[in-house]
Structures are given as structure tokens and as C-alpha cells.
């Protein structure tokens, strides 16, 4: 984008006067933020219009979550005007960094939502016509604070600063029909800028509204009548994002959200094609759809329903759907595979349910009654099965994950339709996750190999001959990033991390399988070890955690409480203060991640092997020159393939070993055999920590008793984890160690989401 300072400041001044009746001098931060953003939006409008009008085949990325984070810095970077705007504002004594207070758009839970955001950015940068379709939740993922060590949730008012990067497109509103009411779906379009290439794709987020402007008087009169009041609430479909990650809760409101999203999106696309005069039999020539996990899978029967209403036979409609849809699976956890009660579904959207039944009948005929293949069984609709049956392609998100899908999770389906299954290893956008969050490191790389890596990350391998020369600058930059993070943590969390400490980081959603508990137990082991002399000379280390727990996930919340108590104990004990600090940062989100990732020395990726589909945080750390302390799980496996296992720190049971260990597993024997482990685990019940609510006691029980004690093999992997982690801590600081960091950076090329979206475009979308 061309940038002229004088013109820009004039535009900003005009918007300030028209929208807020203030001058540039009088404007507050929020007003200025809106005016600056809008001034840019005005400029890019022609490019955006041109991209929207292109006539080739497009892909719709259907997702219940888009975890976009903060837009302004990324957008300015993509447009190539970040520094220009910074200088223009500085010339009128404003500081662009003030906009770091702008709320993240946190319309997602974790990996799946952030992946969608990276893919949109990469597709635009690679000039791939991909548009996102999602829900404009009024409240995104909750804001987290800690009170007395317990997680507290508050509503996330992400629109507090306004939403200048969206445009409400009321004239393209659609009506979504449920059995009990009709709802208006109003689109808000967000431009997705390609990196310095003039491409502007679209993220279209639907907002639900009552069809008639809300009538308060009517509402007042109807208060007594349950149905009407219920309807009023039901029009609030988009009020809030479900804060679940990995557990399926069969809530009707969630089902409404899912249907709302796919019905509005498909009506939108079909309407536009019809207006262009396209024969809907040719739909697959113009569109394909990527289903981001099962959440938008109702799109399949919805499209069939729409086509039948247009006069298609079921077979014709099924054929078109089969050529349009593709399905990505993001987890093998049984509790996360979506299933819906068939009665509830048929009550809410009867004509859609009819199409699901028709698919089931077709499958019955095709599979000759083989009972392994079903969509509806015992009154439950299995969304993954519906997706696999109809879709052209089904993909997992890392090699090991796709293999597990083929071998286990969807084995029967794979046997029947082997050609459907493909792997597309996840990726991350190097613009947000290196250029933007770590500009000095990016500049150091530019200085060695030029800037072509910005859009071709494989070129990082060209750094390999230069790594030795980069060492001292790299250390200096990492040190500065660490100092900045330490200052931020001091301000936000009140915990001081002294200079020279190792930053050992685990940031991700809280889940038992991700094993933050394993990390916590190691911290206790080091603490007792420092005190009793075993680790008298422990390299000074800050153990940094960040994670939100689903509000209804008891064990996850117990783990947060446990770690916060450990932090209290360690940080309050002067005798260890030159060796250890522990901090659990509050409200971990995309913007916090940007600050942490560039400052980490150790990336903890310690899930039980087989459980983490891919992970993408692991890639972010790698790209910023951080070694992984991890299991052979998800994309860690491929990270080791690229960077070498000896440049990372691998421990623990492999997938095959997990299966074996689980036979006759006896965690109590492990406890008895290992006094260090026992001491750490018993703090859960021996009064070391206050436990008013009995949470820690239940955590202890989850490790030692019940149907499947220590389900995620925390105790089994503990000794090997300690061994490797201790080696890592003692390796830290040598040139040899920093070379490992740099080898990781130089080997991160594969993990660009540019590569991922191109793989999708080649193997699946054919665009
Ligand atoms: C029905 C509730 C629910 C909500 C979210 C079920 C499942 C999910 C997601 C599948 C959870 C998720 O975000 N999975 C993560 O997806 C990332 C992107 O592919 C992977 O990198 C992570 O390994 C995976 O946990």
C-alpha cells in the first residue's frame, strides 16, 4: 500500500471530527485507534472489492472458532505501513504502542481456532482464494484471573474498543429457520490482508438478530409466557463462545450456533452463485468447503437440503456435496468427537435431519448392512462419521496423528475408503510469529539471507552456514526479549524474575493429557532438591505457565490451583530465591503468547504420546529459536525430523510404549519406588498446601485410584522427564546450547502455514 503521511493524518483528522467530534489533539486513545484503523480501511477498500469480485473457484473455511488476536499491528505489517504509521503518529506525539491495550479478538479456544486464523493470513499471502466463515460471538473466550489461586472467569467484552476492522453488510443478511423460530443472520466482514501483495480475502462472521427490531413492550407483556421469553433468549444465539476445549457437551444452544453458522454461510454462497447465473450442478467447480473439525458438519445435510429445495434429487445433491466438502480432524479424544441426540436434532431442524437420515440409508445400502458403518446409532448422530462418509478428503494435522486416525480412531472407514485419507501437517504464520513478535531477530535473519523467507520459510535453511556468526546477536536479542517479558510479568502478575534466569515455558490450554501436572511435579522436585542439596547449584530457572481451564473442567482447575500454590511456596521462600521462580500468568491469550514465545529458552511440549494431534505452539517456539523439551507426540516428531533429535530434548513413553505400559499399570508401585516422586505427589494430601475445597485431594486420587488411575502416565514418565529436563537445565548457557536453538530456527521452514495452505490447495481444494 502506498503511504503518504500528510494524506493519512488528514484522513485520520476527518474521521475524528465526523465520528467523534474531536480534533487530533483532543482525541483519546480509543478514538484515535478507531480513526487510524478506519483511515486504513478506506484506503484498502478498492483492493478488497476487486478480490471479492474475482470469478475463479474459492474455498470456504467453515469454523466455529477464529482466534484472530489483535488486528491492528498485523494488518499494518501486511500492508507494509507499520513503520510509516508509527512515524506519522509520532510526528503528532502519539505512540502506536498504546494500541497494545486493544482487546484481542478471542473468538476461539485454542489450537483449532488459532490455526484457522493462521490459515486465513497465509492463504491471502499465498494468493489463494480462501474465505473464513464463522460466528461473531458477542463475548469471546472468558477473561481469566486468579483469586486465592483459583481460576475465576469473567465475560470477555472484546468490542470494548469498537470493531473498526469489520464492516456490517446488512444487505446480505439471511434468514435461518429453526422449527421454533426464524433468526436473522447479519454478516460482518473482516478483510484479511496478504503480506504485501495486494490480496484481500474475507472473514465473514455472522451475527444473530431478531427479525423484527426488538419490541420491549411486547416482551414485557409476554413475560409470563415461557415460550416467547425463551424465543427472545434463543435469538441471542451468538452471545458467547463455548469455552470447551476437547469435551463435547450436548447443549442445544451450541447446536443452534452450529446450524446458524452453516445455514447462513451456504445460503449466502448459493444466493450469490445463482445471481451470477451459475448452474448449481457446477457448484463444485466454483466452491469447496473445509470443515474445521465436526463443529460445522451440519453444512453437509444443509447443502443437500438447499439443493433439494432447488429441485435436485437426493442422489444429485449428495454427489454435489461429496465433491464440495472436506473434513479436518483435530483430536482423537473420544470425549471431543461430537455426537448429537437424534431427537433433539430432528425437533430443532427437521428438514436437515431428514437429509441425515437419507445419508444413513444410502450408507446402509452401500455398506450392505455392515454394522461398523453408521451415522445414526441408538438415537445418536455421529458427526465425524457423517463427515467422513460424505467428504472427498479427510485429513489429520500431523503425520503421527493421521496415522493414528487410520490405524485406530477411524480404522474401519480407512479400510473402506483409503483414498480419502491424507495428512496435512499444521503450520503457523511467520508474519505474526516472527516478524511481528520478534522484529530484531527477523532483522538479524534479513541481514544474513535477505527477506525472501518472509513468504518462503524453507529459505531459513540458508542460515545454516551463518549460525556461528549469529550467535552473539542471537543471545543479545533473546536477552532483551526476556528482560521485556520479565518487566511485563512483574507489572501484570507481581512476580519478579531476576536477570540471568532460564525461561522454561509451558503455555497452552489446560488439559490433563497435556500434563501441566508433570511439569508442576518436576518444579516441586527441584524445589525440594535445592533445599536438601541434591540440586544445590540448580541453574537459576523461572518456570512459567499460562493456560485457561474450561470452566466446567474440575481437574484442570485443580491443576491451576496446585501450580499457583507451588508458586506461592517457591516465590515466598528466600532460601531458594536465587535458584527458582514460578509464575502462572493470568489470562493467557494470543497477545500474551506473542510476548512469551520470543523470550523462551525452553518449550515444554510434554503431552502423553498419541494425545496431542499436532500442537502449533511447539512450532512458534522453534521458529523463535527455542529448543523443545518434549515427547514424541504430534508435530514434535516432525520437529525432530527437521532439526534433529539431538538438538532437542526428548523423553518419555512413545505411542507404542504407552499401549504396553497401560497393560496392568500400577502407579502406586511407581510411587513407592521413587522417593522424589512420592514426596512431590504427596504434597497434594499432606497439608503442604491449603486445600479448602478438597481439589488437591481429588487430584491425588486421579493419580492413584479409580477406574483408570493416572490415565496420562504422569507418574510413569516422571523419572525420564526429570533426567532429560535436568540435563537441559545444566546444558543451558554454553555456545553449544545456543547453537541448538539456532539449528531449530534454521530448520523451521516446514512449519509455515504458507506450506500448509499450499498443501491443502494442491491435495484437497484443487485451486
Ligand atoms: C466439542 C468440543 C470441542 C472443542 C474443541 C472439541 C474439540 C475441540 C478441538 C478439536 C480442540 C483443539 O483445538 N484441538 C487442537 O487442534 C490443533 C490444531 O490442529 C492441534 O494443533 C492440537 O494438537 C489440538 O489439540
pLDDT in tens, 54-85: 989 999 999 999 999 999 999 999 999 999 99
Q: What span, in angstroms and rounded, lies between the C-alpha atoms of 303 and 317? A: 8
Q: Is the CB of 110 under 6 A from ligand 1?
A: yes
Instruction: Catalogue all structural domains in the chain, each as residue range(s) with its CATH number.
Output: 430-747 (3.40.50.2000)
For residue 464, indicate whether it is catalytic: no
**pLDDT given at position 213:** 63
Dist. CA 328 → ligand 1 center (Å): 10
- DSSP H or E run through 527: helix 516-532
**pLDDT given at position 369:** 86
Enumerate residues 6+ apart whose C-beta is below 8 A from 81: 1, 3, 40
Across 528-579, the runs of DSSP E, i.e. the strands, are 541-546
For residue 514, indicate whether it is catalytic: yes
**pLDDT given at position 216:** 60
Dist. CA 51 → ligand 1 center (Å): 31
Cα dihedral 246→249→254→258 (10° resolution): 50
Q: What's the burial of 389, exposed, middle or buried (CB within 10 Å: 0-12/13-18/19+)? A: buried
Q: What span, in angstroms and rounded, lies between the C-alpha atoms of 121 and 68? A: 10
**Options 620, 679, 716, 725, the catalytic residue:** 620
Q: What span, in angstroms and rounded, lies between the C-alpha atoms of 630 and 607? A: 8
Dist. CA 111 → ligand 1 center (Å): 6
Least Cα distance to 683 among 595, 569, 535 occurs for 569
- Mean pLDDT to the nearest integer, 497-508: 98
**Options 254, 401, 508, 579, the catalytic residue:** 508
For residue 758, indicate whether it is catalytic: no
Which residue has cell 484481500? Answer: 200
From 108, 293, 608, 612, the mutation candidate for ligand 1 (largest count of ligand atoms within 8 A of CB) is: 293
pLDDT band, very low/low/confident/very high, at 227 (cuts 50, 70, 90): low
- Mean pLDDT to the nearest integer, 275-302: 98
Residue 496 clears pLDDT 60, i.e. is over it: yes
- DSSP H or E run through 737: helix 735-746
**pLDDT given at position 204:** 98
Dist. CA 609 → ligand 1 center (Å): 16
Least Cα distance to 391 among 258, 268, 288, 248 occurs for 288
Residue 444 clears pLDDT 60, i.e. is over it: yes
- DSSP H or E run through 68: strand 66-69
Give the 3-state secondary structure percentages of the chain, helix then strand then coil, rounded to 5: 55, 15, 30
Residue 132 clears pLDDT 70, i.e. is over it: yes
Residue 173 clears pLDDT 90, i.e. is over it: yes
**pLDDT given at position 290:** 98
pLDDT single digits (tens) 708-720? 999 999 999 999 9
Q: What span, in angstroms and rounded, lies between the C-alpha atoms of 329 and 336? A: 10
Residue 723 clears pLDDT 90, i.e. is over it: yes
Dist. CA 622 → ligand 1 center (Å): 21
- Find out whether 369 and 363 touch, Cβ atoms under 8 Å: no
Q: All 3 cell numbers of residue 251? A: 447443549
**pLDDT given at position 398:** 98
For residue 508, indicate whether it is catalytic: yes
Q: Write the CA distances from 362 to 139, 196, 319, 369, 419, integer angstroms.
A: 40, 48, 12, 10, 20
pLDDT single digits (tens) 518-550? 999 999 999 999 999 999 999 999 999 999 999
Q: What span, in angstroms and rounded, lies between the C-alpha atoms of 6 and 385? A: 58
Residue 361 clears pLDDT 90, i.e. is over it: yes
**Options 143, 174, 482, 509, the catalytic residue:** 509
Q: Is the CB of 423 under 6 A from ligand 1?
A: no
**pLDDT given at position 223:** 59
- Mean pLDDT to the nearest integer, 436-461: 98
- DSSP H or E run through 257: helix 252-275
Least Cα distance to 556 among 3, 144, 191, 68 occurs for 144
Dist. CA 668 → ligand 1 center (Å): 32
Across 219-358, the runs of DSSP E, i.e. the strands, are 287-292, 325-328, 339-341
CB atoms within 10 A of CB 663: 6
Q: Write the CA distances from 188 to 105, 168, 198, 678, integer angstroms.
A: 14, 4, 21, 55
- Mean pLDDT to the nearest integer, 648-675: 97
Ligand 1: nearest atom to the Cα of 336? 6
Q: Is the CB of 41 under 6 A from ligand 1?
A: no
- Mean pLDDT to the nearest integer, 11-28: 97
- Find out whether 605 and 631 touch, Cβ atoms under 8 Å: yes
Rounded to two decimals, the pTM is: 0.97
Residue 224 clears pLDDT 60, i.e. is over it: no
Q: Phi and psi dihedrals of 398, rounded to 5?
A: -160, 160
Q: Is the CB of 767 under 6 A from ligand 1?
A: no
pLDDT single digits (tens) 565-613? 999 999 999 999 999 999 999 999 999 999 999 999 999 999 999 999 9
Q: Is the CB of 550 under 6 A from ligand 1?
A: no
Around 83, how many Cα atoms within 13 Å sit in the side-chain half-sphere? 3
**pLDDT given at position 668:** 95
pLDDT single digits (tens) 205-221? 999 999 876 556 655 66
pLDDT band, very low/low/confident/very high, at 246 (cuts 50, 70, 90): confident
**pLDDT given at position 55:** 86
Strand partners, 507: 546
The rounded percent of the chain whose pLDDT value lies above 70 is 97
pLDDT band, very low/low/confident/very high, at 1 (cuts 50, 70, 90): confident
**pLDDT given at position 212:** 72
- DSSP H or E run through 395: strand 393-396
Amino acid at each position: 500500500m502506498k503511504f503518504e503521511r500528510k494524506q493519512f493524518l488528514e484522513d485520520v483528522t476527518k474521521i475524528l471530527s465526523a465520528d467523534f467530534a474531536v480534533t487530533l489533539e483532543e482525541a483519546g486513545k480509543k478514538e484515535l485507534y478507531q480513526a487510524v484503523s478506519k483511515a486504513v480501511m478506506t484506503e484498502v477498500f478498492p483492493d478488497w472489492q476487486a478480490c471479492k469480485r474475482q470469478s475463479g473457484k474459492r474455498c470456504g473455511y467453515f469454523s466455529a472458532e477464529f482466534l484472530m488476536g489483535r488486528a491492528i499491528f498485523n494488518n499494518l505489517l501486511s500492508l507494509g505501513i507499520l513503520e510509516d504509521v508509527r512515524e506519522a503518529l509520532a510526528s503528532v506525539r502519539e505512540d502506536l504502542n498504546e494500541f497494545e491495550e486493544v482487546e484481542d479478538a478471542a473468538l476461539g479456544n485454542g489450537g483449532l481456532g488459532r490455526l484457522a486464523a493462521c490459515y486465513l493470513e497465509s492463504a491471502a499471502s499465498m494468493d489463494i482464494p480462501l474465505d473464513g466463515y464463522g460466528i461473531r460471538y458477542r463475548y469471546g473466550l472468558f477473561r481469566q484471573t486468579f483469586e486465592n489461586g483459583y481460576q475465576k472467569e469473567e465475560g470477555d467484552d472484546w468490542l470494548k474498543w469498537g470493531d473498526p476492522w469489520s464492516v456490517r453488510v446488512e444487505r446480505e443478511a439471511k434468514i435461518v429457520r429453526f422449527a421454533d423460530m426464524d433468526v436473522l443472520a447479519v454478516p460482518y466482514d473482516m478483510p484479511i490482508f496478504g503480506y504485501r501483495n495486494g490480496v484481500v480475502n474475507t472473514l465473514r462472521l455472522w451475527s444473530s438478530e431478531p427479525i423484527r427490531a426488538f419490541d420491549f413492550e411486547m416482551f414485557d407483556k409476554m413475560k409470563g409466557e415461557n415460550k416467547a421469553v425463551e424465543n427472545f433468549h434463543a435469538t441471542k444465539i451468538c452471545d458467547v463462545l463455548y469455552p470447551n476445549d476437547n469435551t463435547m457437551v450436548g447443549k442445544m444452544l451450541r447446536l443452534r450456533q452450529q446450524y446458524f453458522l452453516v445455514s447462513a454461510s451456504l445460503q449466502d454462497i448459493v444466493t450469490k452463485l445463482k445471481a451470477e447465473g451459475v448452474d448449481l450442478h457446477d457448484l463444485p467447480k466454483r466452491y469447496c468447503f473445509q470443515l474445521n473439525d465436526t463443529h460445522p458438519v451440519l453444512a453437509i445435510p444443509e447443502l443437500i437440503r438447499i439443493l433439494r429445495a432447488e429441485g435436485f434429487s437426493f442422489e444429485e445433491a449428495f454427489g454435489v456435496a461429496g465433491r464440495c466438502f472436506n473434513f479436518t480432524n483435530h483430536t482423537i479424544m473420544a470425549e471431543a468427537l461430537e455426537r448429537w441426540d437424534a431427537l433433539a436434532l430432528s425437533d430443532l431442524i427437521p428438514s436437515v435431519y431428514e437429509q441425515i437420515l437419507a445419508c444413513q440409508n444410502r450408507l446402509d445400502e452401500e455398506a450392505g448392512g455392515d454394522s461398523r458403518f453408521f451415522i445414526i446409532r441408538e438415537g445418536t448422530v455421529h458427526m465425524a462419521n457423517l463427515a467422513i462418509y460424505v467428504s472427498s478428503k479427510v485429513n489429520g494435522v500431523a503425520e503421527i496423528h493421521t496415522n493414528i486416525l487410520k490405524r485406530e480412531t477411524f480404522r474401519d472407514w480407512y479400510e473402506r475408503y483409503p483414498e480419502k485419507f491424507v495428512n496435512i501437517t499444521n503450520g503457523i504464520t511467520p508474519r505474526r510469529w516472527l516478524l511481528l513478535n520478534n522484529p530484531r531477530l527477523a532483522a538479524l535473519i534479513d541481514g544474513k539471507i535477505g527477506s525472501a523467507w518472509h513468504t518462503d520459510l524453507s529459505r531459513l535453511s540458508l542460515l545454516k552456514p551463518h549460525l556461528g556468526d549469529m550467535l552473539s546477536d542471537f543471545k543479545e536479542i533473546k536477552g532483551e526479549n526476556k528482560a521485556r517479558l520479565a518487566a511485563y510479568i512483574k507489572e501484570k502478575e507481581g512476580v519478579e524474575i531476576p536477570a540471568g534466569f532460564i525461561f522454561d515455558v509451558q503455555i497452552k490450554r489446560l488439559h490433563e493429557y497435556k500434563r501441566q501436572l508433570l511439569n508442576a511435579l518436576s518444579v516441586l522436585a527441584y524445589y525440594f532438591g535445592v533445599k536438601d542439596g541434591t540440586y544445590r547449584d540448580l541453574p537459576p530457572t523461572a518456570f512459567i505457565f499460562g493456560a485457561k481451564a474450561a470452566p466446567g473442567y474440575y481437574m484442570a482447575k485443580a491443576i491451576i490451583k496446585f501450580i499457583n500454590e507451588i508458586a506461592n511456596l517457591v516465590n515466598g521462600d528466600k532460601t531458594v530465591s536465587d535458584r527458582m521462580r514460578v509464575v502462572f500468568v493470568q489470562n493467557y491469550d494470543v497477545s500474551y503468547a506473542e510476548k512469551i514465545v520470543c523470550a523462551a529458552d525452553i518449550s515444554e511440549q510434554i503431552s502423553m504420546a498419541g494425545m496431542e494431534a499436532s500442537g502449533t505452539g511447539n512450532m512458534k517456539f522453534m521458529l523463535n529459536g527455542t529448543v523443545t523439551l518434549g515427547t514424541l507426540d504430534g508435530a514434535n516428531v516432525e520437529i525432530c525430523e527437521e532439526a534433529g533429535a539431538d538438538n532437542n530434548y526428548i523423553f518419555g513413553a512413545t505411542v507404542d510404549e504407552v499401549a504396553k505400559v497401560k497393560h496392568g499399570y500400577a502407579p502406586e508401585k511407581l510411587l513407592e519406588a521413587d522417593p522424589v516422586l512420592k514426596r512431590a505427589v504427596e504434597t497434594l494430601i499432606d497439608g503442604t498446601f491449603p486445600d479448602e475445597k478438597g481439589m488437591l485431594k481429588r487430584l491425588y486420587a486421579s493419580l492413584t485410584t479409580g477406574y483408570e488411575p493416572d490415565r496420562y502416565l504422569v507418574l510413569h514418565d516422571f523419572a525420564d522427564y526429570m533426567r532429560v529436563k535436568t540435563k537441559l537445565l545444566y546444558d543451558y548457557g554454553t555456545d553449544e546450547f545456543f547453537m541448538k536453538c539456532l539449528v531449530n530456527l534454521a530448520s523451521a521452514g516446514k512449519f509455515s502455514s504458507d506450506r500448509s495452505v499450499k498443501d491443502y490447495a494442491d491435495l484437497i481444494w484443487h485451486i
